[in-house]
Structure 1
Amino acid sequence: MVTPASMLALQNVSKSFGALKVTDDVTFDVPEGQALGIIGPNGAGKSTLFNLITGNLPADTGSIHFEGRDVTKVPAMQRCISGVGRSFQIPQPFTHLTVYENLVVAATFGRQSTESDVMRQCAVILERTELIGKANQTSGSLSLLDRKRLELARAMATHPKLLLLDEIAGGLTEGECHALVETIKAIHAEGVTIVWIEHVLHALTSVVERLLVLDFGRVIGIGDPDAIMESKEVKEIYLGIDV
């Protein structure tokens, strides 16, 4: 349901590739300032859902609203400029550019700002994501944790109101995961609305206020994280437990 307080709202959104229905009549909303986690087994349609929200894929049916405005047919670039930012599951930096140059590219195309403002904001984001000491290092030489930080930093450089995180904690050690989660918590505390797909459940549930479960493209549950994880259907489908 679309309400004035919804940052993001999907209504009966479906997407098929031939006979395969990847997103099946998905309806949910994310109030402004909230963090929503999305979980589900591999192939549940999570990344496809992100591509529908960002405009990288067109929806076959249904509607997508951002800040109360129907953006179902709005191109991905315009959604980014309007305030929809995302990271990717596999970091995709411009490996021949420095960390700072990667941010400048994202900020230039994602913001409508002066050059001096872009440079100032990029410096602030490098500080927030703990990359300031590696600003002049080429991104192709970064560790996995720092490549994940750069994915987050590039998304933040577009000045998002809605931040989509796609398995950003995947592949990290426990300590690295904790460090990245603390950065995400700080960003959320500043009022950024977050939708986060993640398999590392303890990282996800330490940030989000609500949890949504997808299975074969369908929403099978949404609500309080503890209540969702105790659900019989979620345990059977997502955790593989016969209840």
Structure 2
Amino acid sequence: MAILSLQGASKSFGALKVTDDVSFDLAPGEALGIIGPNGAGKSTLFNLITGNLRPDAGRVMLDERDITAETPMQRCASGIGRSFQIPQPFDHLTVYENLLVAARFGGGLSGAAAPAVCMDILQRTGLSALADRKAGGLPLLNRKRLELARALATRPRVILLDEIAGGLTDAECVDLVATIRAIHAEGTAIIWIEHVLHALTSVVTRLIALNFGRVLMSGTPEEVMASPQVQEIYLGIEA
């Protein structure tokens, strides 16, 4: 049984069709990567999954339940968490306070349970030493870590990562990928949009390539990256 499914999802903005009849299943605990050139519809796809956008056609299913009409808050409470390509913490709050807000309002935790979960996530994401630091003053790597930590604080069963490795140095990328691998090993299903391919393919077991809002190809990372169509469209290599 799939934990998450998109069934014929389509979305247009005026005459521009940004998501065109996209369907796929995500198995429990699977790590799925999504690639494609800029403008391929990747972020729109995430917004359809999280409820920030409603599809013009098609359905979003969670545990075989239709959640297409549910709000982002309802979907978060049901177990869909996400990070954003541009980190969006509450800058005036500390790192710990950012997690506490996510745990209480996204994860539905109260009393002593919320602080305990937050302290555990701080440890797992390498942010313990920065717990009392204001989020607005963090460098990029730690803002990315905080995006991941806030998503985890909502207690997701599926976590959506939107170009979380973008803008990092190689060493920072290795660090962050190790954290993502550990999260996946604990059983959390992942859908990851990424342009840093070596980071993505070191974690995911399946890739979907998008182009002009449509699924171009789906398969193992090796199969997809060996496709002449994918190489031409995504990597600029002439087929």
Amino acid at match of 2:110: T
Percent identical: 64
Alpha-carbon deviation of 1:115? 2.0
Amino acid at match of 1:154: R
Aligned to 1:200: 196
Find out whether 1:140 has 2:136 as its counterpart.
yes
- TM-score by structure 1 length? 0.97
Find out whether 1:231 has 2:227 as its counterpart.
yes
Aligned length: 239
Find out whether 1:59 has 2:55 as its counterpart.
yes
Question: Take 1:29 and 1:202, find their aligned partners in 2: how far apart are those partners?
Answer: 24
Aligned to 1:176: 172
Q: Once the two structures are superposed, what CA deviation does each residue of 1:87-127 show, in whole Å capped at 9, x if it has no partner? A: 00000111110000000111111122222100100000000
**CA RMSD, aligned part only?**
0.6
Please say if residues 4 and 25 of structure 2, whose CA atoms lie closer than 8 Å, have aligned partners that are also in contact: yes
Alpha-carbon deviation of 1:213? 0.4
Please say if residues 108 and 154 of structure 2, whose CA atoms lie closer than 8 Å, have aligned partners that are also in contact: no
Aligned to 1:111: 107
Find out whether 1:131 has 2:127 as its counterpart.
yes
2:3 partner SS: strand
Aligned to 2:21: 25
Gaps of 5+ in 1: none
- Quick check: 66-75 or 172-181, which moved more? 66-75
- TM-score by structure 2 length? 0.99
Instruction: Identify the match of residue 220 of structure 1 among 213, 216, 229.
Output: 216
Please say if residues 94 and 135 of structure 2, whose CA atoms lie closer than 8 Å, have aligned partners that are also in contact: yes
Question: Take 2:237 and 2:109, find their aligned partners in 1: how far apart are those partners?
Answer: 51
Instruction: Identify the match of residue 188 of structure 1 among 181, 184, 198.
Output: 184
Amino acid at match of 2:118: C
Find out whether 1:41 has 2:37 as its counterpart.
yes
